Amino acid sequence: MSKKINNVAVIDLFCGIGGLSHGFVKENFKVVAGIDIDNTCKYSFETNNNSTFISKSVSDISKEEINKLFGKTKHKILVGCAPCQPFSSYTFKDGEKNDNNKWKLLYEFARLVKETEPDVISMENVSQLINFKKAPIFEDFLNSLRELGYFVHYEVVNCPDYGIPQNRKRLVLLASKLGEIKLISKTHNKENYVTVKDAIGKLPEIKDGEVYKKDRLHFARKLSPLNKKRIQKTPYGGSWKDWSDDLKLECHKKESGKSYPSVYGRMKWEEPSPTMTTHCIGYGNGRFGHPEQDRAISLREASLLQTFPIDYKFFDEKEEFFSSVVIARQIGNAVPVRLGEVVAKSIKEHLKQFK
């Protein structure tokens, strides 16, 4: 096992269950704390990352708290992914669903950077943030970093290009007080993308509503009788467009419904999956149907497509009950662990220049 990186401390804002943090842990960084308002994430974050979870809104975190957590370490790294729903394509289609308090959290991120001036920062978010029309939030974020003397690099990452088995585009920003910084080079291309089959193809077969006895996370939601008929009539890689009219929803029979071709769809083994969302185990919420089995993907399958290790702990095994809705939300909200590793590797390569 590689040695821990000395004299470097990482704090993860909006940490959730620790997808981004775990990428840093796998690259041997010390994550001293994660901060998130969702206390349901505490067990998973702390158990898997040997770190401290602080249940608090980033808006209420002071520079004194951040500086105390960093301590006297040589290099301070502040990372995070502000809640991205306000900047998503769904929000762009329906401005009424926009939550100003959420997108303003990125300004709180900028505030903490200004007040604590860490050596390196990383911010990850949906790619639509660059073109967000409600406010010049990304431009303001960039300007605040540059005014503080940071060297800034950002790009839209196509996740399969880095070995993530998921068609997901994410904005990744790196900034450093020390000098020029950039992401590591792509590790994959279309010839060797990691696929759905690579990620979940060896898991045991289960039925809808069933929990695999040796893995409680390998659970698929029970389908209604009608949805059971629908998935049985959905061919490999198909969707609701392949159904007879008696199975289609009324909205899909209208012209406006044709703009959602992938809902009630099956994934394909030989391709990366669609983007995992907070509703990733719901058959009607996207192309979340299993490629072959007549069910939606399980929680375990969603976690693997998000590149969480198979031994990642999402709930206390001593507890008899866990909420599949809560865990699905946690998984969907997470930064893919592999993307966290890419960010961590990039920062590690950067810091080697300044030993």
Backbone dihedral angles phi then psi of residue 12, each to the nearest 5 degrees: -110, 110
DSSP code per residue over 159-226: GGGGT-SB--EEEEEEEESSS---PPPP---TTS---HHHHHTTSPP--TT-EETTEEEEE-PPPPHH
CA-based Rg of the chain, rounded to a whole angstrom? 21
CB atoms within 10 A of CB 274: 18
Q: Cα separations (Å) of 137 from 60, 85, 151?
A: 20, 14, 19
Please provide residue 10's backbone torsions phi and psi, each rounded to the nearest 5 degrees.
-115, 135
Distance, in Å, from the CA atom of 321 to the CA atom of 341, rounded to the nearest integer, reads 31
Decide if 139 contacts 110 (C-beta within 8 A): no
Active-site entry in 81, 84, 159, 280: 84
Whether 84 is a known active-site residue: answer: yes
Backbone angles phi, psi at 80, to 5 degrees: 170, 165
Q: Are 208 and 222 in contact (CB under 8 A)?
A: yes
Q: What's the gap between Cα 244 and its chain centre?
A: 36
Comparing CA positions, the residue from 236, 207, 233 lying closest to residue 295 is 207
Report, as residue numbers or ranges, the catalytic residues: 84
